[in-house]
Structure 1
Amino acid sequence: MLLEVRSHGRGGQGVVTSADVLAVAAFKEGYYTLSFPTFGAEKRGTPVASFLRVSDKPIVLRDEIYSPDYVVVLDPTVMDSINVVSGLKDDGVVIANHPSEEKLREKLRVKAVAINATKLAIEHLGRPITNTVMVGAFAGLTGLVKLETLKRTIVEWFKNPTIAEKNVALIELAYREMEKRRDRL
């Protein structure tokens, strides 16, 4: 099994952190993992991408992911300037921060699932930081890692217990929501 994920967002939104958190959680469950970003002249607010590979065998590939199984979109505005579905496998899925699943599917014309991560992040964190929502959404939809493993990883990741607690709540909310949709893909 080799699962390849490409994430899109903007600099400063936690695109890299989201891939790293998933990599750590998957590693804790016995998988081999590799996560890495693309950096050029990117700066805060410009489009960035990160990549995640998860496998039951050692990972030797070190190049960017050109044909992902999943694409995770943290900021819906990047879809206006980047073809996020470029190279997506025929049975691939887009998981996007978007207010309307119907409009998302119309726009992308691929198998896509939406969660309004911005709204949830503002409600729970007071800021539109969507990375932990999208981590929970991805994990819940794919079943790649257990919710408890993900929650433990977040508690270890965030040193501030209050911030960790809020992010754990967000991850659980997104995980449970997407877990319900797993069979509808």
Structure 2
Amino acid sequence: MRELRIHGRGGQGSVTAAELIATAAFNSNIYSQAFPAFGVERRGAPVTAFVRFDDKKIRLRSQIYEPDYIIVQDSTLIRDVDVFGGLKEGGIAIINTEKDIPDIPEGIKVIKIDATKIALEVLGLPIENTTLMGAFAAATGEIELDALKEALKERFPSALAEKNIKAAETAYNKVKGGDI
């Protein structure tokens, strides 16, 4: 089983990202499970969402404490939350930033991408969840880009889906091409 933990702030679409990543995996015949950790969150407060992937049915129903991957939608969370906590050695951290990141644990691959810039250029709004999903697909291979596109088409009206697909493709191509 492989596991993903998504760190974001309320209103950034962390829960939606988890659901769409799980849907893309499921559409590729991979068992998947997505769920949030809710408390008294409100817009701007730290939020965590989780995704599991496996080739067999997933019966585990707990938070993810030792993920293989993390996505950090807002790099300011790094100073407030232990986003790297439990990340397995050899794990991949996809972080929405163009800045240097202090205190990265050894044995972790970090992919920095300015998802906010891409989202502003493509969507016209700083909503970077679909951009980061494209980066995740390219960095991990856990979901296929075509499956992600289908999940986005299922979730959003056609014009909005096309913009989100373009944002995801842009990030996917940047990560695959090493242009980050």
Bin of the TM-score, shorter chain as denominator length: over 0.9
In the other structure, the counterpart of 1:151 is: 149
In the other structure, the counterpart of 1:63 is: 62
Residue correspondence of structure 1 range 35-54 to structure 2 within 5 A: 35-54=34-53
Unaligned 5+ runs, structure 2: none
Cα deviation, residue 111, structure 1: 2.2
CA distance in structure 2 between the aligned counterparts of 1:57 and 1:6, rounded to whole angstroms: 20
Letter in structure 2 aligned against 1:33: S
The C-alpha deviation readout for 1:50-106, integer Å capped at 9, x for no partner, is 000010011011100000000100111111200100011111111110113xx12x4
In the other structure, the counterpart of 1:135 is: 133
CA distance in structure 2 between the aligned counterparts of 1:107 and 1:119, rounded to whole angstroms: 24
Contact 1:133–1:171 (8 Å) recurs in 2: yes
Matched, 1:108 2:134: no
Secondary structure of the residue aligned to 1:127 is coil
In the other structure, the counterpart of 1:118 is: 116
CA distance in structure 1 between the aligned counterparts of 2:68 and 2:51, rounded to whole angstroms: 10
Letter in structure 2 aligned against 1:113: I
Residue correspondence of structure 1 range 15-94 to structure 2 within 5 A: 15-94=14-93
The C-alpha deviation readout for 1:161-185, integer Å capped at 9, x for no partner, is 221111010111111222234xxxx
Aligned residue-pair number:
176
Q: Under a length normalisation based on structure 2, what TM-score does the superposition of the two structures give?
A: 0.94
Contact 1:36–1:50 (8 Å) recurs in 2: yes
Cα deviation, residue 137, structure 1: 0.4
Secondary structure of the residue aligned to 2:121 is helix
Secondary structure of the residue aligned to 1:76 is coil
Structure with greater helix share of residues: 1
CA distance in structure 2 between the aligned counterparts of 1:48 and 1:108, rounded to whole angstroms: 21
% identical aligned pairs: 45
Cα deviation, residue 48, structure 1: 0.3
Q: What is the CA RMSD across the aligned residues, in angstroms?
A: 1.1
Structure 1 window deviating more from structure 2 (33-42 vs 150-159): it is 150-159
In the other structure, the counterpart of 1:175 is: 172
Cα deviation, residue 125, structure 1: 1.1
CA distance in structure 1 between the aligned counterparts of 2:93 and 2:120, rounded to whole angstroms: 22
Letter in structure 1 aligned against 2:82: N
CA distance in structure 1 between the aligned counterparts of 2:4 and 2:172, rounded to whole angstroms: 17
Q: Under a length normalisation based on structure 1, what TM-score does the superposition of the two structures give?
A: 0.91
Secondary structure of the residue aligned to 1:139 is helix
